[in-house]
Structures are given as structure tokens and as C-alpha cells.
Amino acid sequence: MVFGKSSSVLIQVVAYTLAIVVAVVTWVLFPELDDLWRLAAADLAATVFIFICSFVFNNSSMYDPYWSVKPAVIASGYAFLFGLESIAAIALFSLMMLYNLRLTSNFFRDWPGLKHEDWRYRDFRVQFPKAYWLVSFSGIHLFPTVMVYLSCIPLYFGMKESFEMNWMGWMGILITVAAILIAFVADEQMRNFRNNPANKGKNMHEGLWKHSRHPNYFGEILTWWGIYLMALNASSNYWWTGAGALAITLMFAFVSIPLMDKRSMKRRPNFSDHMKVTRAILPIPKK
């Protein structure tokens, strides 16, 4: 069955609403666990539910909004548990709502519906025809869930703890706002570029894309380092919560970006020349 965009969006909304219900029920069922382990269990249950939806609709792109919806849901849960009684809690909650709005709206604006599946997932179908759904669960669903879960750990300490904001906390807010803005501008610049038929087959070399091949990824990475600084502001004992931001950085640098560049080289013969004059992530001139 082919679904149009409107029906596909409705399916996504219903699926993610039910996934949130599954997560809340799982949280309630394990009161004896530490909060972060309860969150991990709830997160896993929601991921499994969305995976089942992916299988039912034969489209792993059912998972794609999870990346942006999850941080907002987690921040909302912490706001309910701990309240918004500090500058840090209000800031972190607001930043996650802004992050969710930017990334989720960007996805649905360009998404044609469930008739479309991400090209990387289609490649996996060809590479692993008999084990595709195992690959889908482990690589497309579970792995990103773990990455975002780790990145959201600083939210727990930043919203739960009571502490005074110092230069590190304010810097974290500034960096996160700047990161979200950079990603938004980069996405809009690329959207305008692609919507111009005269640019078909050309490399984007304007705006933030003049010096970086992936400034949108730079904004994504920077977001989680900004959030991490908020946890450090709460206590230097939370230095380990930077594992999430580090994992996100490594994932983009050594997995996502190489895949994107490899695909671009196949589709655009002169992309290798473009790579020589641009950086992979940082939007600064390359000598």
C-alpha cells in the first residue's frame, strides 16, 4: 500500500504518541531502578515499538524522527519530575524544545512520506538481503538510540541539580543556541540550493557550505557539547557525561560523513575536487 504525505505524517504522529506511552509505562514498571537505568529501559522499549512499526510498514525511515523527538520527550519528563525551578532547568528544557522544532520540522518539510526510505537503508537491503531486519534493528534503530541516550545524560544532572550558573553554564547555553542556529541556516541554504533546477549535479559552495561540506552536522555535534557544559557547570564530577557528545562526534566524523562523501563522489564526478578545497565539518577556510 502506498501512503501519501498526509497519511504518512498521521501514521508517524500516532506511532510516536504510542511509543511515548510505551516508554512511560516501562518507566512506571521499574521503580526500583536508578533513574538513568529506568530511562534506558523506557528508551529501549520505545525503540522496539518503533522498530515493530518499521517492520509493519516495511520502511526503516519510521525511526528517523526518533533522533529529534527523543531529547524533547526526555527533557519534558525531567521537567515533570524535577520542575523548572532553576535557570539551568529552564534553559535546557527550552533548548531541547528548540532543537526538536528545528530538526523535526526540517525532516517533515522534505519527507515525501512512507513511499520513501533513506538511501542508506535501501543500500543495506541490497547488502544484507536475508539479514536486513536484524541490521535494521541493530544499526538503524538501536545504535542511534544509544548515541542519543548517552548525549542526553547531561540533561539529567543539569535539570535535577540545584546550582548557580557560572561562565561554563552560560557558555553552554550560548554554544547550544549558536549550534541550533548554524544547523538551521545550513539546512535552509541547502534546501534553497537544491530547489533551484539550475544547480542540479552541482556542488554546494555558498554560505556556510563554502568552507564545510557538512555544516549542518557541525551544528548537530556542537549542540551536544553545549549541553555537556551545562552538566559540568553542575559539578566537575560529571565529566564522564561528555561520553555522549564524544560518541556523536566520532559517529559523524568516521561513519556518517564518509558515507555521504562516498555517495557524492559517485553522483558528482567533480566532488573530489570540491573535497580538496573544503573541510569535512568545520566551516572555516582550508589552506
Number of domains, the chain: 2
Q: Are residues 47 and 83 in the same domain?
A: yes
Take residue 256 and report the three cell numbers written for it: 556518517
Q: How confident is the model at residue 3 (pLDDT cuts 50, 70, 90)?
A: confident
For residue 1, the model assigns a pLDDT of 67
Instruction: Give per-residue pLDDT as tens, 100-135.
Output: 999 999 999 989 999 999 999 999 999 999 999 999
Residues 143 and 29 in one domain: yes
So what's the pLDDT on residue 80? 96
Residue 201 has pLDDT above 90, yes or no: no
Residue-number span of the structural domain to which 109 is assigned: 1-162
Closest CA to 184 of 112, 116, 104, 248: 104
Residues 137 and 226 in one domain: no
Are 30 and 127 within one domain?
yes
| 177 and 282, same domain (yes or no) | yes
Mean pLDDT of the chain: 95
Instruction: Flag whether pLDDT at 18 surpasses 80.
Output: yes
Residue 269 pLDDT > 90, yes or no?
no
- Please check the confidence at residue 37 and state whether its pLDDT lies above 70: yes
Same domain flag for 142 and 262: no
Residues 142 and 170 in one domain: no
Query: How would residue 241 be classed by pLDDT, with cut points 50, 70 and 90?
Result: very high
113 and 227 belong to one structural domain: no
pLDDT computed for residue 283 by the predictor: 92
Q: What is the pLDDT of residues 69-109, one digit of tens each?
A: 999 999 999 999 999 999 999 999 999 999 999 999 999 99
Q: Is the pLDDT of residue 49 over 80?
A: yes
pLDDT at 2: 73
